[in-house]
Structure 1
């Protein structure tokens, strides 16, 4: 501990990182604490952070705007991959952590810091995501994770510590949910949600939108335009990725879209229950998948679905900065060359309903698929195809008959 003179703290201003500053000062010989808050689109949560960090013992606070990089270099590549963890989780926290970890290293080097500190618990996934990113860019950097060593054993203990050290916190024991918010999603964990038998009280916890019951009785139609798998316009209006995601969050949230109640398998081995709000992300995933159905050939589409499962595991497990993730992204990018077109959707009370899709690269031919009369396909050809395709089944059945006589 005596060797630690200056540390970089991943700082959100939440309960964990708020009390870590005085705890570090007490336990690391009054070391200098440089706080770093990553702006990944969490909005109002950043207001007043600098004053709070300084008052609780930090020497300074960096507020790093990473939102554009987050959307363009982490979110959109994952959407293009179609990566969804365990069929429901759209990876909102997962792909933000590597980006933040990378920036922590950059500031640690700039500040000549001795260590990087994070407030992740020893039970969670984020400790892995942060530390793998740090190892990728500063393999010899010391890492301090107070949750693994301090005397505090629960969030109630943390609140007691905050009160004893006059650390302001914007929650009570009754509203002490563990939350993570960025431009892509908002997660809720803890309290009554720890029991999967409990139905979430959406009217109490939702922040990005409303429950499906409270959504309008009239549907909302939108059209998303993609170029090479990347969303570029909403309802015909070109816009950058950050603006587009924000707009879709507003529209989706208002229509009760994007709620997921999940019991997921954490990397560290336990199951956890979380409720996620991802309104804009849910719309983007759906629209992109619809467009791929007419732009990708069968074999590519099916193989890409297998890749998506592995890609989701890699992102969830914090392995963004790895050769395999880069290789999979290269494969995904090659599949997206023709994923260009428009997708029309109907949003209604939590549902995302297909309302039309077009692409200049479509592989769908009405002439070939028609149930009406056509001159492009001789239906008699199918008999020979079925005979060859079914030959292994027929041979086995014939031989089984002979053996059973």
Structure 2
């Protein structure tokens, strides 16, 4: 009993310490939403208060922690309580989301939420393999769609999503948020106009995922889709500031043959000489969540981004330091894309094709391949035109 009490006290101390750290990183409002999203007790939810009621026109598909504490937080802060419908197969998550956001009751199915007359915008933050089917359904209904990353976990899904996006009046936005971060926005003017090659290095300390974590399910696309897609998308976005090279050599190295998407290094070199290196490691749990260090060298510009809380930029003898508080990974601006101009969808398509190529390499234990954006895009368009969605994931591994 004494050991159990000590363990309980230790757990409480750790949670308190983490909350205090989050307060320093994110501020009071965002931290309290994170706490509420985890606990979802009536007392905590009442302490937040759902805010003013706005025109209810949003359906939330997937009511987990990210939907409640991130999407919900930024929607509520900008517009007030705008959710009209919600759905999650986990009843407690759907019920607590509905109660807090003033929805009379959760929808019985995702389809019911999507097709509700009041719904104009659909946010999708469910499990990864379900993103494409829900997005296709919502686009077919003419809705504006915001789909969390990854937008697809297979080339067959990407073909379906791309075909839906091309044949509907609905608009489609993706939850890749790093391009919307304050640091990347500040860095862009220093890099636009560069004609030479880019060197981009991303080192990510990620969450430890146990063997039974849902990311590990075969249909969910590995951590390449679940995590690494963020930094592949960032690379495509940054390269697109100038000219995105077409042909790339891709090399992978992993430390554990039985978990090739953990503790993995991905190196991409372009025909122009660009070098992109991404290292995802998960050897222990980062106390404050995912931690990122990003280094850039492009022409006369050198930059270092420290966890999207601080950035230092050097240009010759000139040196600038930018600080971002609260920590700005770009969630707010990304989530609000349906209400203002977003980034070009073409960038997301291209980064997804590259992500799926690397996913196929990891699944096949393939360490080296060649990739072409134009060839992958042509394969995608051919599948859309044929209407068969029969493009092969293994074919894109080169």
Rg (Cα) greater in structure = 1
